[in-house]
A and B are shown apart, each in its own frame.
Chain A
Amino acid sequence: MKPSVEQIGSLLALKRHERPEDGYWQDFLCDFHQNQRELAVRKSGLMSFASRISGWFSDLGPSKWAYGAGLAYASIAAFALLTPKEAAVQKMAPSQINYQVVPAPAPPAEQLDQLDLSPSTQGNAGEQVF
């Protein structure tokens, strides 16, 4: 159902009277400036790093082409070495992982018959009846 012209008129009249809360614009302005400052700082960090890199390259003079070529060669070599060969990957047979828990062996323990604490004293291992 389409609104009538009167309804639209009354709605616009209501909207004209609608005002944000006190201090809204002040807060909005503060947030806006804060975001602007953070963005500027972030941009300046990245930009300064990029400008330092480009400046270093431009200061190299004609040798920058040699550096560039070396860097490109190193990148290609690293890619070729680190990329696994497809044939080798395919050859590896899937191995079944065994999760069987093996209990740790019990530490050797002996029951002394007497309070003779010398290292050579022999005790009794195994089952002890009390």
Chain B
Amino acid sequence: MVILESPRRRWSARLLGLCLGFSFSAGFADPVGVSPRLLVNFSAANGKIAESTAVPVEGDTILVVVVAAGADFSNPKLLQGSRPVPAKVIGHDPVSRLQFLQVQSGISPKSFEWLGDTGDSASASLIAMGPGGPVKCRTTGWVKQVGGKILPLALFRVTFVGAVPPPGTPLMDDVGRVAAVVFQDAGVASTGYAIPAEAVRRVQRDICTSGQLVRGWLGLSLRAETQSPQVVRVLPESPASAAGIQPGDVLVSVGSRQISDYADAANAFFYLVPGHPVKVKLLRGVDQLEYSLTPTRPVAK
């Protein structure tokens, strides 16, 4: 133990500690140089303001933000700290409630690296870059349905050390890549839901090119109340029909996603891109079959 006897040494030690503390907090609280953080305010019901965090998703000008439930997504107000920043809405996806903004001028946040495959992040220790600094959190599995209602895409269940940060807050892995963004509070203490980075990139792909999310269509139907992912019907002149899929076949996997129930299938179908072939494994009786299907744009109902 070093005993600091003279006042000069004490002041030197204090200065050194201050410098170390500053560099440590700067390194963790702001690893990508976005400081102060970007906020987006939406008008909500009863004249309230719904606040979300905006995260650079591509380059340094395209931001993604989660629109709170019930908020008016048509008129977002981007702020850096308290300073308004001009931004243009690229598009809004009502399914995932993700909105993409193009920063017009005034700021140049550094871009984030986003995880491509987030399958391994379902049980991982992450760091939420919240408004008060980094907060430790842990993903504790997938959320496929809430209250008997099956989600169009599966979310992460996340437990935070402390309060759940605002929607849009990025959750980063140990090397600083975005694994998910906070979706909303789960209503249980310190637990929230988060959208996987893969889903954000999937929505961004369509919104930033065509302005709307277009999910790949295979032309097969399943029943939501049936736990087994069994094909109920195959629509004529569909990719599934052309490949030879039959009613009664049970889905085993779609692409790299294993299917164990209906909710898994719904989640896997969310990621289908029209024109991009996908391998579909099925069980027919005791035979396992594998098809390569090319989803198309959905036909009118």
Chain A interface (Cβ < 8 Å from any Cβ of B)? 106-119, 121, 123-130
The chain B residue with its CB closest to the CB of A118 is B69
Which residues 189-217 in B have Cβ within 8 Å of A in the complex? 193, 195, 217
Residues of A within 8 Å of B96, CB to CB, are 114-115
Which A residues are CB-close (under 8 A) to B70? Answer: 118
Known: A108-B148, A127-B224, A128-B221. 7 other contacts (CB 8 A): A113-B95, A114-B97, A115-B195, A116-B69, A124-B224, A126-B225, A128-B224
Known A107-B148, A114-B94, A115-B96; contact A125-B224, beta-carbon cutoff 8 A: yes
Is B146 a contact of A130 with CB atoms below 8 Å? no
Interface SS majority for chain B:
mixed
Query: Of A106, A123, A129, which contacts B149 at CB under 8 A?
Result: A123
- Residues of chain A with a CB closer than 8 A to B222's CB: 127-128, 130
User: What's the Cα separation between A91 and B284 when bound, in Å?
Assistant: 54
Q: Mark B25-68, 1 if CB is under 8 A from A, else 0.
A: 00000000000000000000000000000000000000000000
Which of A112, A116, A119, A129 is most buried by chain B, counting CB atoms within 10 A of its CB? Answer: A129
A109–B220 CB distance below 8 A: no
**Would A112 and B152 be within 8 Å (CB), given that A117-B184, A127-B222 are in contact?**
yes
Are the CB atoms of A129 and B221 closer together than 8 Å?
yes
B233 CB–A CB distance under 8 Å: yes
Inter-subunit contact A109/B225 (CB<8 Å): yes
| Residues of chain A within 8 A of B69, CB atoms compared | 116-118
Q: Whole-angstrom distance between the alpha carbons of A52 and B212 in the complex?
A: 93
Contact in complex: B193, A117 (CB < 8 Å) = yes
Is there an interface contact between B224 and A119, defined as CB atoms closer than 8 Å? no
Query: Given the complex, which residues of A lie within 8 Å of B152, measured CB to CB?
Result: 111-115
Number of A-B contacts (CB under 8 A): 91
Q: State the Cβ distance, A90 to closest chain B Cβ, in Å.
A: 49
**Number of B residues with CB within 8 Å of any CB on chain A:** 40
Output the least CB separation between B279 and chain A (Å): 16
Minimum Cβ distance to chain A for residue B144 (Å): 11
Given contacts A112-B152, A114-B152, A118-B69, contact A130 B225 (CB under 8 A): no
Check if A115 sits within 8 Å of B225, measured CB to CB.
Answer: no
Contacting pair A107 B184 (CB below 8 A): no
Q: How far is the CA of A36 from the CA of B239 in the complex (A)?
A: 86
B150 at interface, CB cutoff 8 A:
yes
**Interface hit among B8-16, B76-84, B129-137, B261-269:** B261-269
B262 / chain A contacts, CB cutoff of 8 Å: 109
Residues 224-264 of chain B, each 1 if its beta carbon lies under 8 Å from chain A, else 0:
11110000110100000000000000000000000000100
- CB-defined A-B contacts under 8 Å, sample of 9: A109-B262, A110-B150, A115-B96, A116-B97, A117-B151, A125-B224, A127-B224, A127-B233, A130-B221
Given the complex, which residues of B lie within 8 Å of A124, measured CB to CB?
224
CA distance A106 to B223 in the complex (A): 11
Whole-angstrom distance between the Cβ of A113 and the nearest chain B Cβ: 7
Q: Are A130 and B217 in contact (CB under 8 A)?
A: yes
How long is the Cα–Cα vector from A107 to B301 in the complex, in angstroms?
Answer: 27
**Nearest Cβ in chain B — how far from A114, in angstroms?**
5
CA distance A106 to B95 in the complex (A): 26
